[in-house]
Amino acid sequence: MNELLDRKHTGMLLAVVFFATFMDGVDGSIVNVALPDIGSSFGVDTGTVSWVSITYMMILAGTLVAFARIAADKGIRLIMALGLFIFTVSSFLCGISVSFPMLIAARAVQAVGAGMMAAAGPMCCVVHLPPEKLAFGLSIVTIGASVGFAIGPALGGAIVNFADWEWIFLINIPLGAIAIPLMLKAVPKSIEPSRKSTLDHTGAILLLVAIVLITFSIETLSHSDMRRYSVIAAAVGLCVLFAFIYVEKHRENPLLKLSMFRRWDFSLIFITLMEINMVFMGILYLVPFYAEICLGMSSLTTGLFLLSSPLLTAILGMPIARMSDVRGRKIFCVLSGVFAMMAFAIFMFASDNMHWVLFLATMILMGLSWACVGGPMASRLVEHAGDEPEMASSLTNEAYYVGGAIGTALAALAFTIASGTDGIDIDSVTSAQFLSGITATAAILFIISLTIAVLSFIVKDEKRF
């Protein structure tokens, strides 16, 4: 009977972890389909509306590592519950936003809640599951995020098509109301809350400020009236980044152990992880606009096309990871860059006369590219981390979110400059302008994808293969 109860409790625990990561995955992708409608609703241009996505990713990236340390010190249950609560309340604020600044502010708060969930979810499995179920539990985290990211575009397209964009946020309210009491029941109380805090507060603040300022400088560089502030933000951001590095080197318990980056192979793998999410989130930001303005697709149709990419990743991710265990990581990491290059080559040479078959092919190629990342490339980072595999595992998520924020900002910058749409409302952007912008952006993302393939080829696999 006790064994049955244990199984039941473990099932509830995994269900809550899945649900939390699922919500995070959905919210990371659902908003992209609605960006054209959000921009039209508030009368902002394509570059400005990108901040709905950028804000979420850069705040999440800037707080994730700190919340992981806080969860270890103060208790996983507390941080996960607080994260779910903040995520739910801020979703309501996003949905009732009456101005663009209010939406961005609410989105930033939502990212804080998501950062808590993203940090506590994997730790919940590590602390509360028996060793023989740990791998399965961590796979639930990955699957939850993948399924959420896969469903997000189609769900967002359906919501925008049949209702208003506000409901992509308001739908989180009943989900959060269900998840919070279930989480409190399923996740055991931690014994660590009385432990003295080991959080490096200075390092946490410096990292967040550096990420925000550098991302801000990239995106706003395309706006003629903001370039002075862009240069200032870039200069201050780099100074803050150097201050973060200096502080971390002299901390007894640093937020990040930067000694890992002394290994050139580890640093190159970390860069490729950032780059793959840069190109993925960069094109994902532009595709909904392209589909609506140039291809005449509805939000629902666009969402269904976008669904194919993360769905393919969810299906092939685990088989490819298993193959990399046998054949080595290198070939799959190189293929990740090659698949992305093929997708952007289609956008470069066929965007002005894109058939739906070619459009679907680009989404499939991006799905194949990302399927080669989660297992092979992420595992490669851990294997090349020397004596810090646990810290390296947390850096994979950091690379994803930092790369996503910078990639979206870079795509917005390249598109705005190439299309000449600075200050032009989305409703006024012509098809010719958009084609100029997306072709130039695809060329830049193609070059970044090429570096992914080259850097992945340079780094050798560990000798165990």
Domain boundaries, the chain: 1-195, 200-254, 257-465
Q: Is the pLDDT of residue 305 over 70?
A: yes
CATH, range 1-195:
1.20.1250.20
CA distances from 153 to 53, 150, 312, 456 (A): 13, 7, 14, 30
Question: In this structure, what are the phi and psi dihedrals at residue 408, rounded to the nearest 5 degrees?
Answer: -65, -45
Task: Rounding to the nearest 10 degrees, give the CA dihedral for residues 15, 16, 19, 23.
Answer: -170
CA distances from 257 to 15, 205, 250 (A): 33, 16, 10
More confident residue, 9 or 343: 343
Res. 446 pLDDT band, cuts 50 70 90: very high
CA distances from 415 to 220, 359, 421, 438, 442 (A): 12, 19, 8, 6, 9
The whole-number average pLDDT for the span 408-430 is: 81
Helix H, strand E, coil C: the string for the chain is CHHHHHHHHHHHHHHHHHHHHHHHHHHHHHHHHHHHHHHHHHCCCHHHHCHHHHHHHHHHHHHHHHHHHHHHHHCHHHHHHHHHHHHHHHHHHHHCCCCHHHHHHHHHHHHHHHHHHHHHHHHHHHHHCCHHHHHHHHHHHHHHHHHHHHHHHHHHHHHHHHCCCCHHHHCHHHHHHHHHHHHHHHCCCCCCCCCCCCCCHHHHHHHHHHHHHHHHHHHHCCCCCCHHHHHHHHHHHHHHHHHHHHHHHCCCCCCCCHHHHHCHHHHHHHHHHHHHHHHHHHHHHHHHHHHHHCCCCCHHHHHHHHHHHHHHHHHHHHHHHHHHHHHCCHHHHHHHHHHHHHHHHHHHHHHHHCCHHHHHHHHHHHHHHHHHHHHHHHHHHHHCCCCCHHHHHHHHHHHHHHHHHHHHHHHHHHHHHHHCCCCCCHHHCCHHHHHHHHHHHHHHHHHHHHHHHHHHHHCCCCCCC
User: What integer pLDDT is reported at residue 465 of this predicted model?
Assistant: 45
User: What integer pLDDT is reported at residue 236 of this predicted model?
Assistant: 94
High-pLDDT (> 90) share of the chain, %: 22
Cα–Cα distance measured from residue 409 to residue 219, given in angstroms and rounded to the nearest whole number: 5
Q: Is the pLDDT of residue 5 over 70?
A: no
Token output for 113: 């809640």
**Range with the poorest average pLDDT among 27-31, 205-209, 413-417, 456-460:** 27-31
- Tell me the angle at which helices 356-372 and 299-327 cross, rounded to the nearest 10 degrees: 40
Task: Check if 1-195 and 257-465 are the same fold.
Answer: yes
Residue 378 in contact with residue 273, Cβ under 8 Å? yes
User: What integer pLDDT is reported at residue 177 of this predicted model?
Assistant: 86
| pTM attached to this predicted model | 0.78
Q: Is 372 left (phi over 0), alpha (psi -120 to 50) or beta?
A: alpha
User: What integer pLDDT is reported at residue 22 of this predicted model?
Assistant: 80
Superfamily of segment(s) 257-465: MFS general substrate transporter like domains (1.20.1250.20)
Res. 139 pLDDT band, cuts 50 70 90: low
The whole-number average pLDDT for the span 309-318 is: 78
User: What integer pLDDT is reported at residue 454 of this predicted model?
Assistant: 96
Token output for 428: 């006024």
The whole-number average pLDDT for the span 449-462 is: 91
- Could you read off the pLDDT of 179-219 as tens digits, one per residue? 888 878 777 776 545 456 667 888 889 988 998 898 888 87
The whole-number average pLDDT for the span 324-328 is: 80
User: What integer pLDDT is reported at residue 1 of this predicted model?
Assistant: 36
More confident residue, 347 or 385: 347
Q: Is the pLDDT of residue 353 over 60?
A: yes
- Could you read off the pLDDT of 122-132 as tens digits, one per residue? 777 766 666 55
Closest of 19, 30, 124 to residue 71, by C-alpha: 124
Q: Is the dihedral of CA 313, 307, 399, 369 positive or negative?
A: positive
Residue 364 in contact with residue 342, Cβ under 8 Å? no
- Burial of 10 (C-beta count, 10 Å sphere; 0-12/13-18/19+): middle
Q: What is the mean pLDDT of the chain?
A: 82
Cα–Cα distance measured from residue 25 to residue 370, given in angstroms and rounded to the nearest whole number: 15
Cα–Cα distance measured from residue 125 to residue 94, given in angstroms and rounded to the nearest whole number: 30
Question: In this structure, what are the phi and psi dihedrals at residue 463, rounded to the nearest 5 degrees?
Answer: -65, -15
User: What integer pLDDT is reported at residue 4 of this predicted model?
Assistant: 39
- Could you read off the pLDDT of 70-94 as tens digits, one per residue? 887 777 888 888 998 999 999 999 9
